[in-house]
Amino acid sequence: MDRTPPPPDARVAGVEPAALGLRERKKLRTQKDLQAAALRLFAEHGFDHVSTDDIAAAAEVSKTTFYRYFDSKEDVLLGDKAEALCHMRDALAGRPDTEPPFEALRGAVKEVVGHFALDREASGLRQRLMRETPSAMARNLERQREWETLVADFVRPRLAPGANRDLLARVYAANTMATMRATIEHWLDSDGADVSELLDEALAAFAVSDDRRPAPAPA
């Protein structure tokens, strides 16, 4: 519930290894070990034929420690989505208030997906395991729903005030995340396509033009 986020500063594993104290380096390493062990075991035996004890044993720690780094067995499969969330938040926050919100959102989503496509191998394995594992898929969807509230909070003040402002903000946020997710799933089933191009197509086909947007809210 009030667990301290495993890496107090969510950061890419492996940067500035010497700048951190021994303690932090060890923590980073055990987290990485747990993740690697889990992914390997999942790929080898399947998600639900691997217990958290197995993962902990493979990473040479105790089950307790595993749960100190990950909230659930599913979370270790989802990976560094928290980091991606920060990226998106930053990307949104960096946009000027006057920019059309829909355009800003499209840019932020493309950025996140691009970051997603960097380690294509690991991402693909994760997604493949996820769609074979209902509980992991469910957990992933729940996370994406949290993103929606972030996006909705970004869009809402940029829409014209009115009775349906909140509705439109929610719906637009939900649609944006849905587009992103569906595009990624399609990408996994198609071989060798470029995610960014697919995302462009999807966004272009279903994007709401900023022209149709209500006038920006008065500051």
Site of interaction with a copy of itself (CB under 8 A): 134-135, 137-139, 141-142, 145, 148, 164, 166-168, 170-175, 177-179, 181-183, 185-186, 189-190, 198, 201-202, 205-206, 208
| Alpha carbon distance 133, 128 (integer Å) | 9
Which residues, in sequence order, are CB contacts of 4 under 8 Å at separation 6+? none
Nearest Cα residue to 48 out of 67, 73, 79:
73
Extract long-range pairs of 91-97: CB within 8 Å, 24+ residues apart.
92/150, 92/151, 92/154, 97/158, 97/219
**Contact call for residue 98 and DNA (CB under 7 A):** no
Nearest Cα residue to 158 out of 212, 106, 206, 99:
99
- Collapse the DSSP code of 184 into the 3-class scheme (helix H, G, I; strand E, B; otherwise coil) and give the result: helix
C-beta separation of 198 from 187 below 8 A: yes
Among a copy of itself, DNA, none, what does residue 52 contact (CB within 5–8 Å per kind)?
DNA
19 phi/psi in degrees, rounded to 5: -75, -20
Among a copy of itself, DNA, none, what does residue 172 contact (CB within 5–8 Å per kind)?
a copy of itself
Among a copy of itself, DNA, none, what does residue 21 contact (CB within 5–8 Å per kind)?
DNA
Among a copy of itself, DNA, none, what does residue 160 contact (CB within 5–8 Å per kind)?
none
Tell me which residue has tokens 């272009």.
Answer: 204
Q: Which is nearer to DNA, 46 or 161 (CB)?
A: 46
CA distances from 100 to 92, 95, 105 (A): 12, 9, 9
**Contact call for residue 218 and DNA (CB under 7 A):** no
Tokens of 134: 């209902």
Quick note: the x/- pattern for DNA over 48-87, rule CB under 7 A, is x-xxxx------xxxxxx-xxx-xxxx-------------
**Contact call for residue 142 and DNA (CB under 7 A):** no
Size of the site for DNA (CB under 7 A): 27
| Alpha carbon distance 38, 70 (integer Å) | 11
Of 24, 99, 200, 210, the residue at the interface with DNA (CB under 7 A) is: 24
In the complex, minimum distance from the CB of residue 121 to DNA, in angstroms, rounded to a whole number? 25
Q: Which is nearer to a copy of itself, 69 or 172 (CB)?
A: 172
Among a copy of itself, DNA, none, what does residue 201 contact (CB within 5–8 Å per kind)?
a copy of itself
What residue ranges bind DNA (CB under 7 A)? 1, 4, 21-24, 26-27, 30, 48, 50-53, 60-65, 67-69, 71-74
